[in-house]
Every structure is written in C-alpha cells, then in structure tokens.
Chain A
C-alpha cells in the first residue's frame, strides 16, 4: 500500500473528527458560550491572565504539547504492524485526546483558570490532589531519564547531529540577548537564527563527532547521558529569558518547518509501506499488543501531560470561550499529525520488508533509529536534500524536542523539591543548588538504574506511557465529575476514562510480571508504586462520582 493513502486517511480522519465530533462536544457537552467572560478578561493582570490571539495561543499550545514522545511512541509501536498504531492514533486523537485536552482547557476556563491539580482538589478531594502530585513527580522523573537516553542514543547512532544540536544553544542565547538586552525586533533574528540552524546541520553532516569507545568505565551513550544532565542542571539555573524562552521559540518554529517538509516529501516520494499491516512474526521479547500498545503510544493518541499545559498557561490566556475548541482540539490534531508522520517514516521509509525487519529485531530499542533512517529516505525525494542530510535533519529535530523538554523538566522537578523544602521546613532544600543536584541525581539514578549503562534504558518507555495515561485518566475523571455537576451527559468522558484506567492497570500488571522475571527490582518497585496509585485513583473516582451523582439527583428531585 502507498503511504500517501495512510497520510490522506489519517489527516482526513482528523479533519472529520474536528469538524463533526469536536463541534458536537463543544455545542452539547461544553456548551461553549461566546458571551462568557473568560479568566483572561476577568482577572487580566498582564502577568498570567492576558487575552491572546487564538492562532498564537494554538501555536503555543501545540508546540508545548508536541515533543519527542509522539515520535518515539509510534516508532516503537509499529513493531506490531502499522494498522494497530494507525488506528490507535487516529481514534485516540479524535475520541480520547481531543476531548481530554479541550475538556481540561474548558474546565479550567470555567473555574477561574485553575490548574488541573487545584481543580482536582475542589472537585474530587485533597487526597486525589496528593495522588496527582505523586504522578506528576514520577512522570517528570521518567521523562527526563527517557529523553536523555534517547538523545544519547541519537548522538551515538547519528554523530552528524552533534554539532547542530549544541549549536542551537548559541543561537538561542544570541536571540534572547538581542531581544531583551538590545531591544531588537524579532523578525530578522528569527529568520537568521533558523537559517543558521539549518546551515549548522549542513556543517554537522560533513563533520560527524563521536565520543571515544570508553571513558571512566562508561560507553559513549552513558557519557552523553552524564553530559546531558550536567547541561540540563546548568540550563535550569539560567534565567528563563536567556535560554529557555528563545530555545522553546526556535523549537516551535522548527516543528512547523519540519512537519511541513516531511508531509511535502511524502507527497513527492509516495513511498510504499513495506512494514506488514499486522506483524505475524514479532520478535520474542515483544510484550502482548493488548494492553501494551495503549501505553507505548501515549503522546500522539492521549496524554495526561497535555492537561497540565491546557490548564496551566493556555487557559489563562483564552480570549473567547469559543476559542477552546480551536485551541484544544486543533492542538491535539497537530500532535496527532506528528505521530502520523512518525508512523509513515517508520513503515514506508525502507526499501524492503527485510530492511524494516533489520531495525525491528527487539522491542523498544531501535524505534527512534528507524524513524531517522526511514524518514531520511523519504526526505531525500525533495530536490537538494541528500539521504544523509535528511537523516541529520530528523535526528536533530528529535533531539531538540527531547532537549527542550528536559530543560523544562529539570526546572519543574527542582521547583517541586524546593516546595517540599518549604512545606517540611528544610531550609537547605529551598535554595537552588541542592534542589537541582537532588532533582538531577534522581533522574540519573533512573537513567542508569534501568540497566545497560544508559545504552538500553528505553525499557522504561512503556512505564512512562502508563504513568502519562494514568494522569490522562485522572483528568478525564475530574472532567466527568465537573460535567455531571452541570447535569450534562458524561458518557463521552467516562468511556475513555474507563478504557484508559483498565488498560493502564492491565499494562502495569503485565510489566510487573516482566520486571520480576527479568530481576529488574528497581523498576519493579517503581511499577508497584504506580500500580498502587492507579488503584487508589480508581477508588477515589468511584466515590467522587457516586457523590456527584447523588447530589445531582437530589438537586433535580
């Protein structure tokens, strides 16, 4: 089958989903009202609450939620064949992620722009909020560890990506400096900055940089993990305007350009999908597709992390309540298209089925390489782009996504540690120094504790997806309770909630068994903690729902 059909079918499903289903949900369930005064107007303060153009807000929302995860998840999951991953991404984007992301945004807009954590406390209860914080902490820990491992892997496999990936830091700092210290307008620095980034990929493509085979008893991937966390620690201590802000910005621009180039290349190349529709001969170490598919692809189909963004910065800047549909649902569609691009790269970018099978010899480890390798082949159909340059471009794209997430992730972990310092009255933890060391230390422990000296640490990927889905389930629950209190139908949020909770608990049990059999006791412990939290969330939700249902019955009686 031609990949073009896959692209048209996927993008078509997103379009129909947006035009039909999101309209239905917005009109019947959310009942979006253009007359409603949003928190951005009621509480306008020029700091957090600022009415913002919906295109700008969509750009912010989409680039905040899209990262390396919607690439890595599908890239791993096509090992079961392209159809299951394709179906889960299209159906998940429309029926799960769309209502989850837009719902969190809407609930927050209707509740003074409160974050989903604060909403949980007021809608479900204090205990549920504590569970929320535990899940977020674990999620941040895993995202940092996993992304460091992915970047390290890409640096080792594609040494041409090393120069551009580090050069972008210099570009970002220059833009930040020009804008804040020199007051230069942004247009030209943006154009020159992005041009320089792509020029540095050309340079990197000519000059690959590799680390020595072994240093201090670590392999090259292990060394890169240590270097990356040292960088992330320093970066998280720098002022936001100097590095994080311009870096996020360039990354956002690069996301639009990268997606555009990729879909253009698919149009030009019209590659054949060589991977099987459903893989009849999966390698021995691949876990069962049910339930693992649904946690291997979290971002790209449904991810709890999006709810944090929706209810964090986005909801406070919604100009008109009707923008919720545009920003929330279309942000999800953007993320779904990135996942779709990943599926096409990983299934149609190879010449033969044999080549494809060569990459998918075991679970989780080679997915991201398949994306770079396959996608590079497709990009080469654009005149002037060589296959090796295409590979460098995609490797750098994935690295930049993962690295900006790490920059933010380490900073957020530090904030949590500092907050604990304040709550439990431990003054040394409230400062920046020790809290950063602790945050980075935990991430490093997880990166190396998952085995393979940072080489094979993608073992925790499904566990990361599980935690992410659990967060999504919790958000959908809070949303359901809120909708129930308004006396509207809850089936559109409760159905995806039940599905996600069932799949995450099942996946946790499956993985628990796997970790026990492989004697990975560190991960076994982590899995157990998440499992207990998941069951607890289930119980809390039942009681909260029952209470809300009886309240709504009483009020209607």
Chain B
C-alpha cells in the first residue's frame, strides 16, 4: 500500500465516522422528501390536478423502481392505480 492508498483509506474511515451518527435521521428526512416527490409525479394518475404533469410524465419510468416500497409506506398494499400495475 503506498501513501496515496493509505490517505484514501483514512479519508474513507473519516467519511464513515462523519455519517455514522446521523445516517438514520438523514435517510429518513430524505425519504420523506422523496415520498412527496413521488406523490407529485403520480398525482395526475390519481386524479389530482398537477400543472407540471407534462414534465413529471417523463420521470415515471425512472421512479418506477421505488414505486413498490413507496405505496407500501403510504399504507396501500397494492398499486392504487388501475392501469399502473405493481404487485
């Protein structure tokens, strides 16, 4: 291991030390924001008027991956959308 690798390892450990205490709190905060964003993107399909629908439509395929966990967190066992199957 040369000094560059060592320094890199020290940096990694420092970063771990930096995030370790608040990882949970930050991840939860981020998830809340993401959940709201999800609602925004899918709102038109659920019958909620959304002026930015034209733009958020493009995001649908990108967000589909997290859709399952999201509808579970929102207290819906299955996809709330008829034409948008999930599980």
**Chain B residues near A179 (CB-CB < 8 A):** 18
A46 to B31 Cα, complex, angstroms = 12
B28 in the interface, Cβ–Cβ < 8 Å? yes
Please state if A187 and B11 are interface contacts (CB–CB under 8 Å).
Answer: yes
Give bound CA distance, A50 to B16, whole Å: 11
**Interface SS, A side:** helix
Complex-state Cα separation, A241 to B29, whole angstroms? 10
**Which residues of chain B are within 8 angstroms of A435 by Cβ–Cβ distance?**
none
B7 touches A248 (CB 8 A): no
Of A53-61, A200-208, A336-344, A454-462, the one with at least 4 CB within 8 A of chain B: A53-61
Find out whether the CB atom of A248 lies under 8 angstroms from the CB atom of B16. no
Q: Are B20 and A245 in contact (CB-based, < 8 A)?
A: no
Measured CB to CB, the nearest residue on chain A to B22 is A245
CB under 8 Å from chain A, chain B span 11-25: 11, 13-25
**Contact at A52–B25, with CB atoms within 8 Å?**
no
Contacts of B26 in A (CB 8 A): 240-241, 245
Residues A248 and B13 in contact, CB atoms below 8 Å apart: no
Shortest 5 CB-CB distances between A and B: which pairs? A187-B11, A47-B27, A48-B24, A56-B16, A60-B20
Contacts between chains A and B (CB distance < 8 A), count: 62
**Which residues from chain B contact A50 at a C-beta distance below 8 Å?**
23
Given contacts A187-B7, A239-B29, A241-B26, contact A53 B16 (CB under 8 A): yes
B29 neighbours in A (Cβ, 8 Å): 239-240
Residues of A within 8 A of B31 (CB): 47
Q: Is B10 an interface residue (CB 8 A)?
A: yes
B11, A60: Cβ atoms under 8 Å? no
The residues of A that contact B23 with a CB separation of less than 8 Å are: 47-48, 50
Instruction: Give A310 Cβ to nearest chain B Cβ, in Å.
Output: 13
Q: Is A311 an interface residue (CB 8 A)?
A: no
- Contacting pair A57 B20 (CB below 8 A): yes
Given contacts A52-B16, A190-B14, A240-B25, list 18 more A-B pairs with CB under 8 A. A46-B27, A47-B24, A48-B24, A48-B27, A53-B16, A56-B20, A64-B21, A185-B15, A186-B11, A186-B18, A187-B7, A187-B14, A241-B22, A245-B18, A245-B19, A245-B26, A249-B17, A252-B17
Q: How far is the CA of A46 from the CA of B20 in the complex (A)?
A: 11
Q: Are A59 and B17 in contact (CB under 8 A)?
A: yes
State in angstroms the CA–CA spacing of A313 and B17 once bound together: 13
A245 near B21 (CB under 8 angstroms)? yes
24 contacts between A and B (CB under 8 A): A46-B27, A47-B23, A47-B28, A50-B23, A52-B20, A55-B13, A56-B17, A60-B17, A64-B21, A179-B18, A186-B14, A186-B18, A187-B10, A187-B11, A240-B25, A240-B26, A244-B22, A245-B18, A246-B18, A248-B22, A249-B17, A249-B18, A313-B21, A317-B20
Chain B residues near A187: list those with CB within 8 A: 7, 10-11, 14
Contacts A186-B11, A187-B7 hold; do A240 and B22 have CB atoms under 8 A apart? Answer: yes
Residues on the A chain within 8 Å of B14, using CB? 186-187, 190
Contacts of B25 in A (CB 8 A): 240
The docked-state distance in angstroms from the alpha carbon of A59 to that of B19 is: 12
Interface string of B65-78 (1 = CB under 8 A from A): 00000000000000
Instruction: State the Cβ distance, B3 to closest chain A Cβ, in Å.
Output: 13
Q: How far is the CA of A56 from the CA of B21 in the complex (A)?
A: 10
Chain B residues closer than 8 Å to A56, beta-carbon distance:
13, 16-17, 20
Q: Encode contact with B along A27-65: 1 for CB under 8 Å, 0 otherwise.
A: 000000000000000000011101011011101100010
Query: Bound complex: CA of A79 vs CA of B55, how far in Å?
Result: 70
